[in-house]
């Protein structure tokens, strides 16, 4: 959860980690909230997949008494450990990683990809209620 300053920035001790339970449809973790309220880390890194990590991040944001930076890294850790199959360079270069994942695990990814087609409809329906765009201009020297 947070790096121990006495151990150095690249060392994470066991007390700074939390093994999450398997979340069902309702993502709520009162134990994690209690731990974070006591330790109050500046950064919380969530590395669980299946579309759950974003729900957990939102749950934490709404239930903590402070605002840490919440990082949802998902499959990034799985790529490093070998649990998640990497995408070949050629597929990544051609932006076809999504297609390879769909072919490898259609039951898992088909529903996720189909939900993306809702986005244009939601933008059209709620477009007037969207926050205004802020264009960041880089200072050129």
pLDDT, tens digit, 9 for 90 and up, residues 49-85: 767 888 999 999 999 989 999 998 877 777 777 777 7
- Confidence at 11, pLDDT banded by 50, 70, 90: low
**Paired residues of 44 in beta bridges:** 70
Is 54 in contact with 72 (CB distance < 8 Å)? yes
Do 67 and 61 form a contact (C-beta atoms < 8 A)? yes
pTM: 0.56
pLDDT at 141 over 50: no
Q: What is the helix (H) or strand (E) element at residue 69, kind and residue range?
A: strand 69-72
Q: What is the CA radius of gyration of the chain?
A: 19
Which pLDDT belongs to residue 115?
A: 83
With both helix axes pointing from N to C terminus, report the angle between 97-104 and 106-115 in degrees, rounded to the nearest 10: 130
The end-to-end CA distance of the chain, in Å, is: 39
């Amino acid at each position: 959860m947070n790096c121990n300053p006495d151990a150095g920035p690249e060392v994470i001790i066991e007390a700074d980690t939390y093994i999450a339970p398997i979340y069902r449809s309702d993502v709520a973790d009162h134990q994690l909230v209690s731990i974070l309220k006591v330790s109050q880390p500046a950064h919380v890194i969530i590395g669980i997949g299946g579309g759950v990590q974003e729900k957990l991040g939102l749950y934490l944001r709404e239930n903590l008494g402070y605002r840490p930076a919440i990082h949802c890294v998902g499959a990034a850790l799985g790529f490093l450990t070998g649990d998640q199959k990497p995408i070949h360079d050629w597929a990544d270069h051609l932006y076809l990683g999504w297609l390879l994942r769909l072919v490898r695990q259609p039951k898992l990814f088909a529903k996720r990809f189909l939900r993306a087609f809702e986005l244009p409809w939601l933008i059209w329906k709620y477009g007037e209620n969207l926050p205004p765009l802020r264009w960041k201009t880089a200072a050129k020297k």
